[in-house]
Chain A
C-alpha cells in the first residue's frame, strides 16, 4: 500500500452494508479519522434514518473559506442541522434512497469523502483565485505583471501545532505545510524523506510540483499570526508549488485529494520506514546469532587422554 485512501473505509463499509442490507438495524459508532477528525454515525430517531456527523478541528477556518458552498454542492439536500458537539451533519433516509445502484454507490462514496470535501474548500477557493489572477495577468506583459504579494494567504490550523497555508498567485498556487516532529528519530527520517521529494523532480519526475523544505518560515507566510520563527528549527516547513499544469480543472480534484493527505502520507511512510528498518535489524541480529553459534567450539570439554590412558584434569 503506497498511497493512503482518501475516503473513510469504515463509513463506506457501514453504508454499503446498510444500503444493501435486508433489515435496517440501529447504529451508534464513533469513527475517528486522521488529523483529529471524528465522525459519529448513528440512528437517533428511527432505524432507517442514518445521521452522519463530522467534527473537524479547523471547521471555523474552513467555513471562512467557503466550506459551506462545497458541502452544499456535494451533499445538497442531505444536510441537516449539526448534531450537538459536532460541526456538520448529514441525514440519509434509507427509505428515500436513489433507485439505481450506481447512484447509491455514488452517494456512499461521496459521504465517505466527507472529510476530504470539507477540507477541499480553501483549495478550491485558491484555485479559483488563481484562475482569476491568471486571466488578469494575461492582460499584461510578463515584465509588467503585478506582483503577487498582495493576495491573501489562507491558513488552516488543522492540527494543534500544525497548519496548512495556501497562497494563490497568477502563475502558481503555493501550499505550505508546517510540520512538527515529537521525536528525534522521526525528524531524521522525515528529513531524508523530504530530501527524496526535493530530488525526485531532478531525477525522474519532471512534472512533479516543486517541493522545498526548510526549517524557518518561508517568505510567503512570514509575519502571519501564529507563525513564529523560533530559530530552534523544531518546526519544518514543506512548500509545494503547484504550477498551472497541476491546476487544470480536470486535474483539480485529484490534486486536492493528494495534497490533503500529504501529512498522513508522510507520517505513514516514516513509520513504515521504521518498520522496515526494524525488520532489517531483526534479520541482522538473527544472522549474527548464527555466526556466534557457529563460532562455538563443538566439544569443548572433551576429555583428553595420554597414551597410557590417564586424563588431565584442570584445577
Chain B
C-alpha cells in the first residue's frame, strides 16, 4: 500500500492563522492567514461559486445551468480563480477580489470557502495527493458533531483522503507539552490555557477527554493587548501609533513582571529600562517611538483586567482556579499539577511563572482556611505551570508528535470505513496517545 510510508498531513486551521505541515517535523511548513480571496465582491454570500446566481426558479431540467444556459457555455474556470493565505490578502487589495475568513470563532462558517481553502492548501502548498496520505485535523473544544461530519464529508468525498483523525486542539496542546523537561509522565490530564488572537480559553482535560461543562472563555487575548499598547501610545502622543507598530512593540518588548508597583519604581530608578523602537514608515521616513511602562503593563491585563476592560474583571489565575474547582474532584489534583500554556499570547517572558505563583497563592489560601476549620494538616497541593518551546504552535506540534507514531493510523478512520458507515463515523474517535498508548 502506497500510504504506508508517507507522513501524515497535519492541518491546524485556526480563526486567524492556519498551520500546515507534515507529521514528524518540528515546525509547521506553512503558516498563513485563514483567508480566501474570491472573484466578485461576494465576500461570503454563501454561494461561493464565483459566478452570479442566475437561477431564479428551480431549474430541474436545465440541470442547474441556469435558464437558457447550455452546458458548453459553462466551461469557464472561475471556480479556480481564488487565492488563499498571504496571497489572498495581497489580492484583496487589488480590484476584483473579495476576501473572506471562512473560520469564525474557531468554527467553520463558510464550507464552500473552506473546501476550496483546503483544496489549495493540499495541492498548491503542501503538494500531496490526498489519496496517499492520512490527515490529522484539529477542532476547537465544543465543536458541534455536525461540523465534524461536514469536515469528514469534504475530506473523504472531495479529496478521497486515505484516513482522517480529528483531534481537539487542547488535547494536542497537552501532548506538545511532553517536550518540556518538567513533564515526567506523559499523561493527558491537565489544564490548557490557550490564548490566541481573538479569545483565551481555559480548558480542563481529563485522560484525554475535555470536561466540556467547565470550560471558561476570557474575552482578553492577543488583539486586546495590541489595542491596549496602542491606546497607551496614543495617550502619550507618540509619533506613530498604528496597530502594526503596537503589535511589534508587544511582540518584541513586553514581559510579565512580578509586581506592578515595584516595577514602576524600578523604572524610575533604572532609566535604561525605557527602550526605543524605530518604525520604518516607508519612503525613507523613520520615526522613533519610546517604549515605556507598556512593556509590563500590556500583559498585565491578564492578571488585572480592570486596567483595560470595564466589563470583564476576573483575573486569569482566578479563572483557572475556578475552572479546576468546577471540575470533578478526583481529577483536580492532576489539573493543578499540569497547567499547560499554548498559543502566541502566552509567550511573554515569565508569564508562566507569574501565573503559577498567583494560582499557588489562591490554592494556599484555601488550604489554610480549610486547615483552620478542620484542624487537620493538609498534605499540600502541587501547582505547576508548564512552559515549553513549542507553545506558539502547540496544537500543531502535538499533532505532529502524535501523527508520527506508528499507532496513529490505527486510530484514524479510513476511507473504507467511511464508505461503509457514513459521516456519522467521525462522531467518535479512539483516544490518541491515551493511557496504554506508547506514544
Contact = CB atoms under 8 A, between A and B. Distances in A.
Interface string B147-166: 00000001001111000000
A274 B129 contact: no
B58 A291 contact: yes
B288 interface: no
Interface stretch (B1-9, B198-206, B316-324): B1-9
A160 interface: yes
B61 to A, nearest CB: 14
Contacts of B30: 10
B123 interface: yes
A29 B25 contact: yes
B20 to A, nearest CB: 10
A272 B123 CA distance: 10
Interface in A1-53: 1-2, 4-5, 8-10, 28-36, 38
A36 B6 contact: yes
Interface in A272-287: 272, 274-276, 278-280, 282-284, 286-287
Contact of B132 (A5, A36, A183, A268): A36
A262 interface: no
A38 B58 contact: no
Contacts of B159: 271
Contact of A182 (B7, B126, B160): B160
Interface residues of A, number: 41
Contacts of B120: 1
Contact of A32 (B6, B111, B157): B6
Contact of B29 (A31, A34, A274): A31
A36 B46 contact: no
A164 B2 CA distance: 17
A106 interface: no
Nearest to B78: A276
Contacts, number: 116
B2 A287 contact: no
A32 B112 contact: no
Contacts of A274: 157-158
A280 B111 CA distance: 12
A291 B57 CA distance: 9
B127 A283 contact: no
A29 B127 contact: no
Contacts of A29: 22, 25-27, 29
A191 interface: no
B69 interface: no
B84 to A, nearest CB: 9
Given A278-B115, A279-B115, A267 B46 contact: no
Nearest to B77: A2
Interface string B131-174: 11100000000000000000000100111100000000000000
A87 interface: no
A265 to B, nearest CB: 9
A124 interface: no
Contacts of B133: 32
B119 A271 contact: yes
Nearest to B132: A36
A283 to B, nearest CB: 5
A216 interface: no
Given A29-B25, A272-B80, 18 more contacts: A1-B82, A30-B25, A32-B6, A32-B22, A32-B128, A34-B128, A36-B6, A36-B132, A38-B5, A38-B7, A160-B1, A160-B2, A264-B129, A271-B158, A276-B49, A279-B79, A282-B48, A287-B58
Interface of A: 1-2, 4-5, 8-10, 28-36, 38, 159-160, 182-183, 185-186, 264, 267-268, 271-272, 274-276, 278-280, 282-284, 286-288, 291
Interface of B: 1-2, 5-7, 22, 24-27, 29-30, 46-49, 53, 55, 58, 64, 77, 79-80, 82, 111-112, 115-116, 119-120, 123-133, 154, 157-160, 415
* Leading 5 A-B pairs by shortest Cβ distance: A279-B112, A276-B79, A160-B2, A274-B158, A275-B115
24 contacts: A1-B82, A10-B126, A10-B127, A30-B7, A31-B29, A32-B7, A32-B128, A32-B133, A159-B2, A160-B1, A182-B131, A264-B123, A267-B129, A267-B131, A271-B119, A271-B130, A271-B160, A275-B79, A275-B154, A278-B112, A283-B46, A283-B47, A283-B53, A288-B58
